[in-house]
Amino acid sequence: MRSRQRYRLAGSFLLLSACFARGTPELTPTIACDLNGTNSVVYCPTLQVAWDGLKDIVGGPVQMQRQDAMVLQLNGGHCPAGVIPEESHVAMAGFVKMGIADQIKAALRVKFGDRAPLLPPILSDKDTEIFAYAHLQRSIPFPRKFLRSSTSVLRFDNGSSSTNVEYFGASERSADDYSAQVRVLHYAGKNEFALCLTSKNADDFLVLSKMEKPPNLAAGVKQTLTYLQAEDKGFSKLEVDGKPEFFMNALAHGDFLAIPVINLNVAAEFPQLCNRLFSNQGFERALLKQVFQDVCFKLDESGAVVRSTAHAAAAGGSSKPRRFVFDKPFLLTLWKKSAEQPYLAVWVASPDVLVPFKSK
C-alpha cells in the first residue's frame, strides 16, 4: 500500500532495518560506492527500494534540512523493475494507522511461509505512523554440486595479508563435467577473467569477475554487464608469447577452478542520514531518526543464498589448461535474466567474509 495522503507528523523517525547480523565489511546504500582500502563492500537494493517507498509517501524526493551526498544519491537512485525477482521479495509502504503492518505480514506469509521474517519492534511504538519495507530472500542452487576440498587450502591474498580459506570448484579431471554450468565470459590470463555460474533457476545466475580493483562498485558492475552483453562466439582469443591462442568459453578437461566459500553477515546504521527534519510539505515536523540495513549471503558448492531486508518507520575451448583461481580480490554479482543491474554486488577483498580453513 502506498499513499500520497498528507499527514502532519510530529516527532517522526525513519528506520531501515533487516535481520540484525553484525560484520566488518562495508555495507553501501548505493552502487556508486568508492572502493578504498582492503575492505569488502556489499550492495543490495533493498535499502533503495525502501527509500523509494518513502519517496512515494512524501510525494517526491525526500527533502531534508541538510541534503548531503547520500540523500541526493538515494533520491536520485531507483531500483528498476525486473532487477529483484518478483517471487522472492516484498516491498510495501504506507501508514501504520491504515494497517500497513498487517498487510506486510500477510504478504510475507504468502511468499515465504514459515521462513517469513518478523517485523521490527518499532512498530509497537505508539508514535510510529509511516512504515516502508523491503525484503529479499532468494536461493540459487547449482544444477550440479561442485567439489569441495577437505584437505587442501586456497590462499587468499588481498595485497596486505593472506589467509588460508575453504574453497570449492573443479579439478583438472572433473572440469569438463561442469562445462554446461560454468561459462567463461572473459579470459585474459590467470588474473583477469569472468565466469558465469548458472543455477537451477532459469532466470538467475552468478558472475564472478577477477579484475583489477575498479574505482567504484558501479564501474565493476558496468564492466561485468559488458561481459554479459558481449556476443558469445564460443571461444576467446588471447596472445601468448606473441602467438594467438584460442580458448573455449566453457570449462574444459585440464582446467582448474577454485572459488572461496563465502559466509557474509553484515549490518550497518547510517548516522549521517539521521536526526534531521524533513522539509517536504506536510511532513515538516517529521524527524529521520535511524537508518539500518543488513545483508546475509552464503556461497558454497551447493549454491548461493541471499537475504536482505529494509524497512522504514516514520513515527510521528582451450588449447592450454587454465587456472580459474579466485585467490585475490574479485567482484561477485547476482543477476536476474535480462536485468540492467544485479540484485547483489559484493567486492570480495577481505578474509572476514570467507570461511577459514580448518584441518579435518
Residues 134 and 33 in one domain: yes
Does residue 318 have a pLDDT over 50? no
Residues 74 and 95 in one domain: yes
Residue 95's Cβ-side half-sphere holds a number of Cα atoms within 13 Å equal to 12
Cell of 238: 588471447
Residue 243 lies in a domain: yes
Separation of alpha carbons 43 and 30, rounded Å: 7
Residues 266 and 169 in one domain: no
Provide the phi-psi class of 87: left if phi over 0, else alpha when psi is between -120 and 50, else beta.
alpha
For 321-330, what is each residue's pLDDT tens digit? 899 999 999 9
Residue 1 lies in a domain: no
Taking residues 67-73, report their average pLDDT: 86
Residues 251 and 273 in one domain: no
Angle at 18 (CA atoms; ends 17, 22), nearest 5 degrees: 105
Residues 122 and 204 in one domain: no
Residue 96 lies in a domain: yes
Top pLDDT among 205 and 289 is at: 205
Residues 40 and 162 in one domain: no
Does residue 18 have a pLDDT over 70? no
What is residue 16's three-state secondary structure?
Answer: coil
Residues 165 and 238 in one domain: yes
Cell of 180: 554446461
Separation of alpha carbons 238 and 197, rounded Å: 22
Residues 118 and 168 in one domain: no
DSSP 319: S
- Domain containing 90 equals 26-139+262-315
- Residue 311 has a CB neighbour count (10 Å cut-off) of 29
Residues 283 and 249 in one domain: no
Does residue 47 have a pLDDT over 70? yes
Which CATH number is 336's domain given? 2.30.39.10
Cell of 199: 543455477
DSSP 156: E
Which pLDDT score, from 0 to 100, does residue 241 have? 60
pTM for the predicted model, two decimal places: 0.87
Residues 190 and 294 in one domain: no
DSSP 20: -
Residue 279 lies in a domain: yes
Residue 2 lies in a domain: no
Residue 21 lies in a domain: no
Residues 285 and 339 in one domain: no
Average pLDDT, the chain: 85
Residue 320 lies in a domain: no
Cell of 61: 524526493
For 98-142, what is each residue's pLDDT tens digit? 999 999 999 999 999 999 998 877 777 776 777 888 999 999 999
Number of domains in the chain: 2
Residues 277 and 134 in one domain: yes
Angle at 229 (CA atoms; ends 223, 232), nearest 5 degrees: 115
